Amino acid sequence: MAPKRFQHVAIVGKHQARGIRPLLEEIIDFITRQGLDVSLERDTALNTGISSYDALTPAELGERCDLAVVVGGDGTMLGFAREMAKHGTPLVGINQGRLGFITDIPIERYREALGPILAGDCEMEHRPMLEGEVWRDGHSIFEGLALNDVVVSRGATASMVELKVDVGDEFVANMRADGVIVSSPTGSSAYALSAGGPLLHPSIAGLVLVPIASHTLSNRPIVLPDSGEVRMEIVAGRDASVNFDMQSLASLLHGDRITVRRSSHKICFVHPKGWSYYATLRRKLRWYEGVV
């Protein structure tokens, strides 16, 4: 349930974007005029030169703030959401990017959407995350957390990667492809969708396993329960890499195993009242085109 009113707002911006400073200052002014305290994420403050407010690390923001406003695109949200996961801080996204499935408030409508949200009149939605490791010779050499997906890809000089895929205690298949995506419901509208995977409603407790450009046409995307662990072992292919959203490990070796499972952490997204997942799909995927 939404709180009666938020008190302290963290501001995070895509600080590389042209013209971001005046936009952030405008949003900050709007929030402070509602009587709320504001702190800036440290990199945002340093790179924009906004110095009138506390500049805090993500950990400090998670401890002090009860809402985070992320201004940018889905990539900005992904990076910050991973930082906020263990704190449970609700996130609202103002879209300055192109598509914006999870930064769903258009920049030109932020005032009418953000005002009621700051007063606690909003929808709150919890999304599952993924976590996992890379194992080599019985030792974990890398750990990652992802909101969208975990992707194992072939190296730049290799024609493919071959992965032995297990789910829980069961062998699934050896997949020969450009790579394999393990996606959360949130990530089903991202890379997995581009690779031919299905959309998965955020309320479904599932994962999507999607081969990328499979060398065997019968290897198709499959929806899995998220109660089990997915394991992918490198069988063939040079210089394969794995990406947990924005965290990457390159030069995987034959025999390396990548494990993926549902994380104990969840992300809380805040939406305007009346928000609809289906309306987001219609708008972002242009499903309304051709309809009278």
Catalytic (active-site) positions: 74
Are the CB atoms for 93 and 78 separated by under 8 Å?
no
Cβ count within 10 A of residue 109: 12
Q: Give the span between the Cα atoms of 224 and 238, in whole angstroms.
A: 28
Q: Which two tokens stand for residue 149?
A: 């997906």
- Dihedral sign (CA 77, 78, 79, 80): positive
3-state secondary structure of 173: strand
Q: Give the span between the Cα atoms of 108 and 95, in whole angstroms.
A: 9
Q: What is the distance between the terminal CA atoms of the chain, rounded to a whole angstrom?
A: 38
| Maximum distance among all Cα pairs of the chain, rounded to whole angstroms | 60
- Regarding beta strands 37-41 and 8-13, do their DSSP bridges make them parallel or antiparallel, or are they unpaired? parallel
**Starting at the edge strand that comes first in sequence, how are the strands of the sheet with 222-225 ordered?**
222-225, 206-212, 179-183, 149-153, 240-244, 247-252
